[in-house]
Structure 1
């Protein structure tokens, strides 16, 4: 299965879940002095998240062309040193504006990966935000409970602010996030070292493939 087929499967899947498909925004942003280039799928929805304009649809899906060469998300220094950083890439996204939340987002991500892309559930892990006592942010028990429908507890990993709390900037929309990781190693390698020990350690063989952000 190539990238074009995965993209189309994703769009078809979420269109069937009641999402309106919208085109990719331009890479060179218009009317946003805070960014030089589009670096994430949420950029074109920024004013909706900030409450400056209403959402045109309660459910949206898109594939966004992104360029990460400056600012907070600058991948230039990583390109060529690992197998997964690129300056330009496409970010697939499904968006809910006041409609569904964690339960549906997690269930549909799992359904798409395991039933549509036929990924082996045995090789998948999920992460959830462990909370921050210092900042008064609680453990994301709701996401954890949702994941228990699909994964055993030992494959649901609690992560800190760096990996499992999303922020648009120093101020503005933010919230916990839940990642899905896949273990691409051989069966022999998986028996020698459990995949959960390699999640978010920079090992390209156990890599994040989805980030569910809950704002």
Structure 2
């Protein structure tokens, strides 16, 4: 599927779920001293996350042009090492500001990937936060339970804070997150080695 269609299907899907579609913000940031470039889809909405601006649209979807060459999210050193890191990319995002939460976010992600994009359900793995005793953080049992509606237990994987705990910065909004991984290997490789063992293992 061409990137143009991926983008169009994404925005159409979330518009059908009541999201306001907004354009990509400029890649160069002029009013945030902490960033030179937009390096994540949430950057244009920082003031909403921090409660510094009123929420006009509780549901928003966009495709944000991002550049990662410095700061907390710096992918420059990873380019060329694996097959999936890039310095410039578009991040597709659906955002809820005090509206829906994990149930809808997970259900819609699964619907989008399997019904709209037509990805093979048997090739998909999901990760959820396993908790962190050192920081007093519990495992994300809520997300795990929701994923269990769609994904067999052996493809719901627990992952560490490094991979499944989102943080805006050193301080500020943060919390557990889920990731969805697809196994693109051929049938012979899949039969020989479980895809679960390769998730978050820097497999190319």
State the match for 1:36 in structure 2: 36
Asked if 1:89 is matched to 2:89, the reply is yes
TM-score, reference length from structure 2: 0.98
Quote the Cα distance in structure 2 between the aligned partners of 1:141 and 1:195. 22
- Post-superposition Cα deviations, 1:130-150, rounded to whole Å, max 9, x if no partner, equal 011121111101000000000
- The 3-state SS of whatever aligns with 1:134 is helix
Q: Distance in 2 between matches of 1:30 and 1:146?
A: 40
CA deviation after TM superposition for structure 1 residue 80, in Å: 2.2
Task: State the shift of 1:87 in Å.
Answer: 1.1
SS of the residue aligned with 1:115?
helix
Runs of 4+ in 1 over 6 A off after TM superposition: none
Match of 2:145 in 1: 145
1:152-197 deviations in whole A, cap 9, x for unaligned? 1110000010000000111000000000000001111111000000
> How much has 1:115 moved relative to structure 2?
0.3
Larger strand percent: 1
1:75 corresponds to 2:103: no
Question: 1:165 and 1:141 mapped to 2: Cα distance?
Answer: 14
Per the TM alignment, residue 81 of structure 1 is displaced from its structure 2 partner at its CA by 2.4
Tell me the distance in 2 between the aligned counterparts of 1:78 and 1:180: 20
**What secondary structure does 2:126 align onto?**
strand
C-alpha distance in 1 between matches for 2:171 and 2:82: 31
The SS at the match of 2:28 is: coil
Secondary structure of the residue aligned to 1:80 is: coil
Quote the Cα distance in structure 2 between the aligned partners of 1:81 and 1:191.
26
How far 1:116 sits from its partner (Å)? 0.5
Q: How does 1:45-60 map to 2 (within 5 A)?
A: 45-60=45-60
**Higher fraction of helix:** 2
Post-superposition Cα deviations, 1:14-59, rounded to whole Å, max 9, x if no partner, equal: 0000000001011111210000100001000001111111122010
TM-score normalised over the length of structure 1: 0.93
**Which residue does the alignment assign to 1:178?**
178
Secondary structure of 1:107 counterpart: helix
Question: Match of 1:196?
Answer: 196
Contact 2:30 2:36 in 1 (8 A): no
5+ residue gaps, structure 1, are 205-215
